[in-house]
Amino acid sequence: MLDVSFIRDNQEKVKELLKTRAPKFPFDAFLALDAKRRAVQTELDGLRGQKNRKNDEISRVLKEKKDPKALIASMKEASQKIGALEAKAEEIEIKFREELLLIPNLPHESVKIGADSRANTEVSHRGDIPKFSFKPREHTEIGQTLGILDMARAAKITGSAFPLFWGTGSRLLRALVNFMLDRHAAHGYTEIWPPSLVNRASMTGTGQLPKFEEDLYRLKDDDLFLIPTAEVPVTNLHRDEILKEEDLPLKYTAYTPCFRREAGSYGKDTKGLVRVHQFDKVELVKFTKPEDSYKAHESLLKDAEKILDLLEIPYRVIQLSSGDMGFAAAKCYDIEAWAAGLGRWLEVSSVSNFEAFQARRANIRFKRKNSNKSEFVHTLNGSGLALPRVVIAILENNQNADGSVRVPEVLRPYLGGMAVIKK
């Protein structure tokens, strides 16, 4: 959530930046609503002041043993006006809050202004794209041949776009999760095992609500949501808390299953593991002081990249333009892994700095030493990594002509020394 005072003081700047962030948002109407909200509040404060003065007059008149009826009638009239105006003020405040929550974060000055992904910029490229003496197969064919992936039975059990792994496929996922968690924990991240269901306040705090409710799985009887990412429960660990400066930065990692309806994505990447409704992911979350967040952002990116380096997966880092970033991000990098069978790059991580946007929504603050004033922290997160597309990259980039798949060396200890996945 943006600071309302900042919006008022920088109306033209905010309006211009929203052209690529939220081109359909009725910004002028929002400003008019804010002006009306403030005018009603000023009127209400004036009436309350009048009522207090009349109260004082009544007390004085009673002390002087005079008749207070006229003053009492006047005060009752003022009270009625106040009651009606309070109801109006509450109605406007609710509407204002709803509109404010729909405004996305503004891009950092280092972010390229652009309407969509065509304005994105490649920052770096690591690893060599593998070459084969045969036509590389896609992961679905590899997985079926090896007996480790079965999308058809998953569809029978649940529906389309849900995965099912067998035997060594299941072990591969577990190996990836343990490897990633061990790596991140060894580099200063505290491991968290959070709930996979969260309440509406948690979803609002990180920015999924109210804008993206149709993309979420919701338990209507309890008004709880299946998490789309561990970012939600982990960031909300400190909702409505005031942290100590000496405790920052805080660094957390968590493995969770993730659930996304992808309501606006039907027909896109429906084959195999590229876009599924349930998937596993290891997440990284940081809480920092404002002046440290962009250094922490670059460090977070390196932590996510290192996983791909160790897995020997070719990848590239893309800095997203203003129009392609997520709703809550001020700056975002995507890490894309190469998938040889598909012959394309696949996003396996988004690494974002939200600055104070989420902290303001979730009321996460900190106090500096020798200060009584609290400030909003900056929050950051990145996938470290999302498993389905990492599995795609491992299967497709490491396939052999006989249908087997080489296991990256770093995973072999987690698979009992297995070097090759065979049928």
Report the mean per-residue pLDDT for the chain.
95
Beta bridge partners of 383: 283
86 with 154, same domain: the answer is no
State how far the Cα of 422 lies from the Cα of 402, in Å rounded to an integer: 9
351 with 238, same domain: the answer is yes
pLDDT at 264 over 90: no
pLDDT at 95 over 70: yes
59 with 21, same domain: the answer is yes
CATH code for position 319: 3.30.930.10
DSSP symbols for 84-133: HHHHHHHHHHHHHHHHHTTSPPPPPTTSPP-SSGGG-EEEEEESPPP--S
Residue 109 lies in a domain: no
Task: Pick the closest to residue 377 from 367, 392, 388 (CA basis).
Answer: 367
Judge whether 252 and 232 are in contact, CB under 8 Å: no
317 with 398, same domain: the answer is yes
Measured torsion, CA atoms of residues 165, 166, 167, 173, in degrees rounded to the nearest 10: 0
59 with 148, same domain: the answer is no
67 with 135, same domain: the answer is no
Does the pTM surpass 0.85? The reply is yes
The pLDDT-based confidence of 225 (bands split at 50, 70, 90) is very high
Average pLDDT over residues 332-338: 98
Per-residue confidence (pLDDT) for residue 78, from 0 to 100:
84
Per-residue confidence (pLDDT) for residue 287, from 0 to 100:
98
126 with 220, same domain: the answer is yes
Tokens 């349930």 correspond to what residue? Answer: 278
Residue 381 lies in a domain: yes
Q: Catalytic amino acids?
A: 260, 275, 347, 350, 389
The pLDDT-based confidence of 268 (bands split at 50, 70, 90) is low
CATH code for position 37: 1.10.287.40
Residue 214 has, within 13 A of its CA and on its CB side, a CA count of 5
Per-residue confidence (pLDDT) for residue 75, from 0 to 100:
80
Is residue 215 exposed (0-12), middle (13-18) or buried (19+ Cβ within 10 Å)? Answer: middle
Six token digits for residue 50: 């009048």
DSSP code for 399:
B
Full domain range(s) for residue 298: 117-421
Residue 107 lies in a domain: no
The pLDDT-based confidence of 135 (bands split at 50, 70, 90) is very high
Q: What is the pLDDT of residues 170-221, one digit of tens each?
A: 999 999 999 999 999 999 999 999 999 999 999 999 999 999 999 999 999 9
Average pLDDT over residues 357-364: 98
Provide CB contacts within 8 A for 41, sequence distance 6+: 89
Residue 123 to residues 115, 324, 334, 389: CA-CA distances in angstroms? 19, 16, 10, 21
Judge whether 339 and 396 are in contact, CB under 8 Å: yes
In three-state secondary structure terms, 339 is: strand
pLDDT at 52 over 70: yes
Which amino acid is located at 284 in the chain?
L
Cα–chain center distance at 139: 28
Per-residue confidence (pLDDT) for residue 254, from 0 to 100:
98
Per-residue confidence (pLDDT) for residue 204, from 0 to 100:
98
Residue 35 lies in a domain: yes
Among the three residues 100, 130, 146, which one is the final residue of a domain in this structure? 100
Q: Count how many domains the chain has.
A: 2
260 with 126, same domain: the answer is yes
Task: Pick the closest to residue 401 from 96, 65, 130, 171 (CA basis).
Answer: 130
Average pLDDT over residues 325-339: 98
pLDDT at 266 over 60: no
Per-residue confidence (pLDDT) for residue 63, from 0 to 100:
84
131 with 251, same domain: the answer is yes
Task: Pick the closest to residue 287 from 195, 369, 219, 379 (CA basis).
Answer: 379
180 with 49, same domain: the answer is no
Among the three residues 100, 125, 144, which one is the final residue of a domain in this structure? 100
Residue 108 lies in a domain: no
For strands 344-353 and 331-339, give the pairing.
antiparallel
Per-residue confidence (pLDDT) for residue 62, from 0 to 100:
84
Among the three residues 58, 75, 100, which one is the final residue of a domain in this structure? 100
336 with 272, same domain: the answer is yes
Average pLDDT over residues 115-127: 97
Per-residue confidence (pLDDT) for residue 330, from 0 to 100:
98
In three-state secondary structure terms, 371 is: coil
State how far the Cα of 308 lies from the Cα of 37, in Å rounded to an integer: 51
The pLDDT-based confidence of 60 (bands split at 50, 70, 90) is confident
165 with 61, same domain: the answer is no
Count how many residues are written for the chain.
423
Judge whether 39 and 22 are in contact, CB under 8 Å: no
Task: Pick the closest to residue 382 from 333, 337, 421 (CA basis).
Answer: 333
